[in-house]
Amino acid sequence: MFPAKYGFAVALTCILPAVAFCAAKGHAVGLGAARHEPYSAQGDPAGAMQDETELSVRPLVVDQKVKEWTTGDAHDVTARSFVVRRAVRLNDSLPTDRTDRWVWQRGPWLLVDRDTGKVTALHLPDFDPAVSGVVWFRDYAAYCGLNSGGKQLFAVVAQIAARRPLLAKKLAPWDAARPPGPACKPAVWQRDPLQVSFQPTGGAAVSFDLVGASAVLVEDGDSE
């Protein structure tokens, strides 16, 4: 028999394992079936190609509820986290319109945690939806981006959870009057040694070594 003053502590010891088990319960996270929506440069001037007529969108479902709409392929960053690009359904109605008008636009990239169900919008430096096509490797995003003035094209490697880009190198001047479209061919990754190559449209390819780079993504529950 335990003295009465130890009874509460014993009870907590018995209850805590059950509480910890409940807190560790995961969430049901996944992408639903694709559907095709009308899409054009008129509805999405910065993101649509001139000849695009449809955008393939899929719901991001968390615990049987649609959390976001997405477009394009997802990329697994870790066994529990993945990235996918958001598709935004935007109200395009004027105050004088008598009926609702909705358009689809390509939005930012999202980081999704399968264990917690948390969805975070990623802010990729110098990313421009009109010219940037992201190629993912590990927790790195490689793409051609525009500086804040929109007059210089940069080769960029951004890393999830890093404050600054891992790489930002000037490639060429940029003509803002140029029609929307990819500024570069898709970036090409090499694992050993870690290297990434960019080729501006109509230009020569250039490669960069990434030395001493390692993952900086910290997921909920990881030790500091």
**What are the residue ranges spanned by the domains of the chain?**
27-122, 123-217
Q: Which residue has the tokens 């968390």?
A: 62
Q: Is the full-model pTM beyond 0.85?
A: no
Q: Which residues of 127-159 are buried (b: 16+ CB within 10 A; e: fewer)?
A: bbbbbbbbbbbbbbbbbbbbeeeeeebbbbbbb
**Average pLDDT, rounded, for the chain:** 86
What pLDDT sits at residue 19? 37
Residue 61 pLDDT more than 70? yes
Give 7-59 pLDDT, tens digit per residue: 444 343 333 344 333 344 678 999 999 999 999 999 999 889 888 999 999 99
Confidence check: pLDDT of 124 > 50: yes
